[in-house]
């Protein structure tokens, strides 16, 4: 019980402390900006907010597209790449958890690819697929798939054998137990993997858009850099941050729904 | 105290029972080894045991004597290297809902409410009909959890969780209840309450129970017969009837009869199985 009250209290406190810390960061930024006094080097929070409001409705000069439309372009790529990557990763991970042979065949490739930065693949993807949407989505896949495979395999491996025994002993067939107990019990771990993969998708997509793109937040950042429009760079970074937080927040809600006991407290 | 004979249990008297019919368990020449083929460890060495219909039998012994292994073989979770287990003459080959296993950890499904945990068995067997829900509710009532149908396992206390796992097993109307130190993780007071709960449940339904424990007191309180096991290799060294009349209760734990039975069993264990 004491653990629970401590948790309840931390729930009360957390938003307060976090809000204060964000406000403190903004104030610090403001102070440094007013010392620097050069909006090209470091725009103040107000400059950035101004750029955000301006380009939200008004189009960015060079392409006639608003900031939100660029954000939508990036989001679409991420939705496709992240969604597809999650499905592929979960499928391969389930096969690996189900069969030793498949695991031994695929495992070396996962281990090999893990330390590789997805960005290293950009040149080769451009050579193979040009500068359309395909290489950008593929780049996200390269980042997302291994993360999802690992999350799925560990999730399925770590399901307590007692749960599987209990299901079998209660009359569940092997297939029923696989679907309704093993996969179900692994879902929180899989969703946690998706949280990591979302962050990875944003890293990859922004980098891809900086190299070969006519749209997207990465493209905006690069263009704004070329025109020394530092406020817009910060505004675009802010949009990426907020979108990333939003996606993570959705996944956290899903996680709480899937795992009413909380991942740390298993029964 | 006497060496017991087969059928010394407590069959009959099953009015108002949710259990269809208690089963007779026969363990014949069961041998089991673990470890590599070159260097195997003999965990069970030609174990023979007959458990009568409706009997409450305790497997008692120190850790490493193979009592959980034997229970898992009866449950169908492990296959013996040689020998066989039959239940009412049918050979045990895989786990099944007719002999439900209760573990030390309640192994509840944390994402299901108490009611849905109880409904798991019928759903898994695709046997849900109009009154399954009512039956599940009455199972919860049987184990004293009527008010917690919509709670999740992590919202229940340790004793409540274990009662829930028993309710989840009972809805399948098992002929055999296999319990692997089910109260071992509970505090002393809750354990006493759960032992009385189990005694009442068994008095009402008379299913065949095989109960693994290393606690002499627990074994003598609950069992019709106690099978004392020893390690290296795991084997049954002694079978004792507990000649204490029923109904029993935790209050009687300090009575002279109990003390005598406990002393006898302790001496048996200390002498390595020679009474």
Beta-ladder partners of B26: B50, B86
pLDDT (tens digit per residue) in B151-197: 999 999 988 999 999 999 988 888 889 999 998 888 888 888 889 88
Q: Which residue of A has its CA nearest to B74?
A: A169
Chain A residue nearest residue B121, CA to CA: A170
Query: Can you give the pLDDT at residue A25?
Result: 93
Highest mean pLDDT among B98-107, B118-127, B178-187: B118-127
> What is the DSSP code (8-state) at residue A253?
H
Reported confidence tier of residue A63, pLDDT bands at 50, 70, 90: low
Instruction: Look at A171 and B109 and tell me if their CB atoms are within 8 Å.
Output: no
Per-residue tokens: A206: 């922004």
Q: Is the pLDDT of residue B116 over 90?
A: yes
For residue A241, name the pLDDT band (cuts at 50, 70, 90): very high
String of DSSP letters for A31-70: HHHHHH--TTTS--HHHHHHHHHHHHHSPBTTTTB-HHHH
The reply to whether omega before B233 is within 30° of 0 (cis) is yes
Domains of chain B by range and CATH?
Answer: 1-98+174-275 (3.40.50.300), 110-166 (no CATH)
Identity of the residue in B100, B124, B172 whose CB atom sits nearest the CB atom of A176: B124
Q: What's residue B4's pLDDT?
A: 36
What is residue B134's predicted lDDT score, i.e. its pLDDT? 92
Mutate to test the interface with B, among A164, A171, A175 (most CBs of B within 10 A): A171
Question: Minimum mean pLDDT among A148-152, A189-193, B99-103, B145-149: which range?
Answer: B99-103
Q: Distance from B172 to chain A by nearest Cα, in Å?
A: 7
In three-state secondary structure terms, A218 is: helix
Pairing of strands B90-91, B99-102: unpaired
Query: With 70 as the cut, is the pLDDT of residue A14 above it?
Result: yes
Residue B7 distance to chain A (closest CA, Å): 26
CB contact under 8 A, B111 and A165: no
CA nearest B78 in A: which residue? A165
Q: Is the confidence at residue B2, as pLDDT, over 80?
A: no
Among A15-19, A209-213, B80-84, the range of highest mean pLDDT = B80-84
Give yes or no for B153 touching A (CB within 8 A): yes
3-state secondary structure of B184: coil
Say which range, A133-137, A187-191, B187-191, has the weakest mean pLDDT. B187-191
For B67-78, write each residue's pLDDT tens digit: 999 999 999 989
Q: Give B240 to chain A, closest Cα distance, Å.
A: 29
**Res. B19: pLDDT tops 50:** no
Q: Tell me whether B103 touches chain A (CB under 8 Å).
A: yes
- Give start and end residues of each alpha helix (H) in chain B: 67-75, 114-124, 132-142, 158-170, 188-205, 216-222, 256-270
For residue B212, what are the β-bridge partners?
A: B59, B180
- Residues 71-100 of chain B with CB under 8 A from chain A are 75, 77, 94-97, 99-100
Whether A214 shows a pLDDT value over 90: the answer reads no
d(CA B220, CA B233): 24
A236 and A221 Cβ atoms separated by less than 8 Å: yes
The SS3 assignment for B215 reads coil
Closest to B106 in 3D by CA, of B57, B173, B71, B154: B154
Strands B82-87 and B225-230: unpaired
Q: Which of B96, B101, B108 sits opposite A267 (nearest CB)?
A: B108
The pLDDT value recorded for residue B244 is 80
* Cα–Cα distance, A198 to A219 (Å, whole number): 19
Q: How many CB atoms lie within 10 A of CB B242?
A: 25
- Separation of alpha carbons B150 and A160, rounded Å: 24
Q: Which residues of A1-11 are buried (b: 16+ CB within 10 A; e: fewer)?
A: eeeeeeeeeee
- Closest residue in chain B to residue A160, using alpha carbons only: B107
Rounded mean pLDDT, B237-262: 81
Contacts of A181 in chain B (CB under 8 A): 109
CB pairs under 8 A between A and B: 81
Which residues does chain B have within 8 Å of residue A166's beta carbon, measured at their own beta carbons? 101, 103, 107-109, 165, 168
| Residue A97, phi then psi, degrees to nearest 5 | -70, -25
Contact A170 B105 (CB under 8 A): no
> A260 and B111 in contact by Cβ < 8 A?
yes
Per CB distance under 8 Å, which residues of A are interface residues toward B?
A: 160, 162-163, 165-173, 176-177, 180-181, 184-185, 258-262, 265-267
């Amino acid at each position: 019980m004491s653990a629970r009250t401590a948790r309840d209290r931390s729930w009360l406190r957390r938003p307060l402390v976090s809000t204060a810390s964000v406000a403190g960061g903004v104030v610090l930024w403001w102070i440094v900006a007013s010392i620097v006094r050069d909006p090209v080097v470091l725009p103040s929070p107000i400059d950035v907010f101004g750029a955000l409001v301006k380009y939200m409705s008004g189009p960015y000069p060079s392409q006639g597209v608003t900031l939100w439309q660029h954000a939508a372009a990036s989001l679409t790529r991420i939705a496709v790449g992240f969604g597809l990557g999650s499905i592929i990763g979960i499928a391969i991970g389930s096969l690996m958890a189900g069969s030793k042979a498949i695991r031994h065949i695929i495992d070396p490739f996962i281990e090999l690819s893990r330390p590789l930065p997805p960005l290293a693949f950009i040149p080769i993807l451009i050579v193979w697929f040009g500068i359309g949407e395909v290489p950008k989505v593929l780049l996200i896949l390269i980042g997302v798939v291994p993360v999802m495979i690992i999350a799925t395999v560990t999730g399925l491996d770590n399901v307590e054998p007692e749960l599987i025994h209990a299901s079998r002993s209660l009359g569940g067939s092997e297939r029923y137990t696989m679907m309704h107990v093993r996969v179900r019990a692994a879902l929180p771990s899989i969703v946690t993997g998706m949280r990591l993969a979302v962050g990875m998708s944003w890293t990859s997509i922004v980098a891809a858009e900086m190299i070969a793109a006519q749209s997207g937040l990465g493209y905006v950042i690069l263009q704004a850099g070329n025109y020394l429009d530092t406020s817009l760079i910060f505004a675009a970074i802010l949009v990426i941050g907020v979108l990333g937080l939003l996606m993570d927040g959705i996944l956290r809600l899903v996680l709480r729904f899937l795992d009413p006991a909380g991942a740390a407290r298993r029964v | 105290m006497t060496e017991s004979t087969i059928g010394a249990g407590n069959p009959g008297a099953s009015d108002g029972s949710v259990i269809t019919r208690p089963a007779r368990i026969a363990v014949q020449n069961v041998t089991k080894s673990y470890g590599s083929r070159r260097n195997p460890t003999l965990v069970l060495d030609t174990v023979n045991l007959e458990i009568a219909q409706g009997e409450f039998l305790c497997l008692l012994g120190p850790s490493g004597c193979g009592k959980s292994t034997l229970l898992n073989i009866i449950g169908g979770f492990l296959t013996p290297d040689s020998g066989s287990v039959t239940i009412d003459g049918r050979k045990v080959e895989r786990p099944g809902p007719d002999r439900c296993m209760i573990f030390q950890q309640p192994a509840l499904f944390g994402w299901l409410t108490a009611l849905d945990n109880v409904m798991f068995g019928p759903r898994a067997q695709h046997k849900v009909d109009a009154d399954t829900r009512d039956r599940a509710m009455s199972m919860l009532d049987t184990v004293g959890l009527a008010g917690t149908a919509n709670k999740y396992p992590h919202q229940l206390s340790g004793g409540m969780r274990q009662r829930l796992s028993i309710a989840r097993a009972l809805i399948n109307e098992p002929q055999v209840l296999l319990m692997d130190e089910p109260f071992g993780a509970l505090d002393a007071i809750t354990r006493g309450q759960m032992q009385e709960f189990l005694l009442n449940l068994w008095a009402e339904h008379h299913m065949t129970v095989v109960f693994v424990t290393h606690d002499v007191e627990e074994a003598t309180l609950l069992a019709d017969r106690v099978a004392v096991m020893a390690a290296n290799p795991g084997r049954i060294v002694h079978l004792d009837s507990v000649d204490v009349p029923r109904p029993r209760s935790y209050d009687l734990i300090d009575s002279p009869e109990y003390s005598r039975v406990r002393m006898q069993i302790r001496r048996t264990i200390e002498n390595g199985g020679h009474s």
